[in-house]
Chain A
Amino acid sequence: MHELSIVTSIIGIVRENMALHGVGRLKKIKIQVGEMTAVEPEALRFCFGICAEGTDMEGAILDIEEVPVIGQCVHCKKEFTLDRYSDSRCPECGGEAGNYVSGTELDIISMEVE
Chain B
Amino acid sequence: MHDVLINTKILVKNNEIADQNRKLLKEKGIFAVNLMSSPGSGKTSIIEKTIALLKDRVKITVVVGDIQTDLDAQRIAKHGIPVRQINTGRSCHLDAHMIQHTLPWIFEQGETDLLIIENVGNMACPAEYDLGEDLKVTVMSVTEGDDKPLKYPALFRTSRYLLINKVDLLSHTNFNMEKARQNALAINPELKIIETSCTDETGIAEWVDSILNTGDTK
User: A residues within 8 Å of B by Cβ?
Assistant: 1-2, 5-6, 9-10, 12-14, 17, 21, 23, 27, 31, 36-39, 74, 84, 86-89, 96-98, 100, 104, 106-114
Contact A111 B10 (CB under 8 A): no
Of residues 170 through 217 on chain B, the ones whose CB sits less than 8 Å from some CB of chain A are 182-183, 185-187, 189-190
The residue that A38 contacts in the complex, of B13, B14, B128, B186, with Cβ under 8 A, is B128
Contact A96 B154 (CB under 8 A): no
Question: Is B4 among interface residues, defined by CB-CB distance under 8 A?
Answer: yes
User: From DSSP, what is the main secondary structure of chain B's interface residues?
Assistant: mixed
User: From DSSP, what is the main secondary structure of chain A's interface residues?
Assistant: mixed
Total interface residues on B, CB under 8 Å, equals 37
Q: Using known A-B contacts A5-B95, A36-B157, determine if residue A17 contacts B6 with beta carbons closer than 8 Å.
A: yes
The residue that B154 contacts in the complex, of A31, A38, A89, with Cβ under 8 A, is A38
4 further contact pairs, Cβ within 8 A, besides A87-B183, A87-B186, A98-B189: A38-B128, A96-B186, A97-B187, A113-B1
| A-chain residues with CB within 8 Å of residue B95 when the two chains form the complex | 5
How far is it, in angstroms, between the C-alpha of A31 and the C-alpha of B14 when the chains are bound?
17
| Nearest opposing residue in chain B for A112, CB measure | B3
Contact B8 A108 (CB under 8 A): yes
Question: Is B105 among interface residues, defined by CB-CB distance under 8 A?
Answer: no
| Nearest opposing residue in chain A for B189, CB measure | A96
Number of A-B contacts defined by CB within 8 Å: 99
Contact A37 B2 (CB under 8 A): no
- Residue contacts A-B, CB under 8 angstroms, 28 given: A1-B125, A2-B124, A5-B95, A6-B128, A9-B11, A9-B13, A10-B10, A13-B6, A13-B10, A13-B12, A23-B4, A31-B10, A37-B128, A37-B154, A38-B152, A38-B154, A38-B155, A84-B153, A96-B186, A97-B187, A104-B154, A104-B157, A106-B10, A108-B10, A109-B5, A110-B6, A112-B1, A112-B4
| Nearest opposing residue in chain A for B150, CB measure | A87
Question: Is B57 among interface residues, defined by CB-CB distance under 8 A?
Answer: no
Contact B8 A96 (CB under 8 A): no
| A-chain residues with CB within 8 Å of residue B186 when the two chains form the complex | 87-89, 96-97
Question: Is B91 among interface residues, defined by CB-CB distance under 8 A?
Answer: yes
| A-chain residues with CB within 8 Å of residue B1 when the two chains form the complex | 27, 112-114
Of residues 71 through 130 on chain B, the ones whose CB sits less than 8 Å from some CB of chain A are 91-93, 95, 123-125, 127-129
Minimum distance in angstroms from A40 CB to a CB of chain B:
9
Contact B11 A36 (CB under 8 A): no
Q: Using known A-B contacts A2-B91, A9-B14, determine if residue A108 contacts B155 with beta carbons closer than 8 Å.
A: no
| A-chain residues with CB within 8 Å of residue B127 when the two chains form the complex | 37-38
| Nearest opposing residue in chain B for A98, CB measure | B189
Contact B125 A113 (CB under 8 A): no
How far is it, in angstroms, between the C-alpha of A81 and the C-alpha of B56 when the chains are bound?
49
